[in-house]
A and B are shown apart, each in its own frame.
Chain A
Amino acid sequence: MGHMKLQINGEIRGISAVSNVRELLKVLGISESQVAVEINGTIIRRADWESTQIADLDKVEIVQFVGGG
């Protein structure tokens, strides 16, 4: 299986090649519930996680809820 490089949350990371958002979360060990994902500045709706392709050098943001006021 190949590898790919992504910029995830501001950090360049090499990971096993993935083809879509759902696979990316799995490879990163991130629970699917209660996160939001943005690829190259576009928010990817949950329903589109499987159909949205990930390419080498994509800029990925993954956010979740933390304590706040």
Chain B
Amino acid sequence: MNALRASSLALLVIIIGAGGGAWLAWKRMTAEEVNARIERSSGPWRWNADDRMFSDALSIARTAQFGPFPMGSSQVTYYVALADSSGERLRGDARYRLHGPLPRTRFWSIAAYDETGYLFENPAQKYSLSSERLASSDDPAAEAVQAFAAGRLDLTVGVPGGAPGTLPTGSGPMFLVFRVYQPETPLFPGADSPVPITIERLDSP
């Protein structure tokens, strides 16, 4: 009887241990954990250098879980912003102005995602702002298009509709991903920080 009881107890401990292991692994692969592991920062922007997403088994698992099929840093650098320039968490129901110099790159884009990593559905079916969109805009008088032509980035996030230089969002916490394709070095020559693009909150929900 004692042997049976001891075996049952041992089995229970092993099952609890295995369950704990699965929980521990899951906890290390959540969106918050992935974002917390981003190693470099400049103002509100954070990024990984040197293809860290493929450097070890845990990084590969995190990448697969939250943002699979990335390209290496020679092709794209992914800058992520979870907060505005004052440190407040970004929200889909607020408006933000992004301002700074243009990066030296083949092209760039900025997309907004909800906290689970999905794009915001919107009637305009507009999911990113990009250098290509601004360069081919049919509204040259638009402020964002004029700023782009003058070598500046001046965008507004959180605006419904499809006006040039504006991006619709939704509700709840969000984050921005600034993709820079085939970046040159330095990306922002003469700037006093690696990513001198500010995110200023314009209004509250």
Q: Do A and B come from one complex?
A: no
Residues in B lying within 8 Å of A, measured CB to CB: none
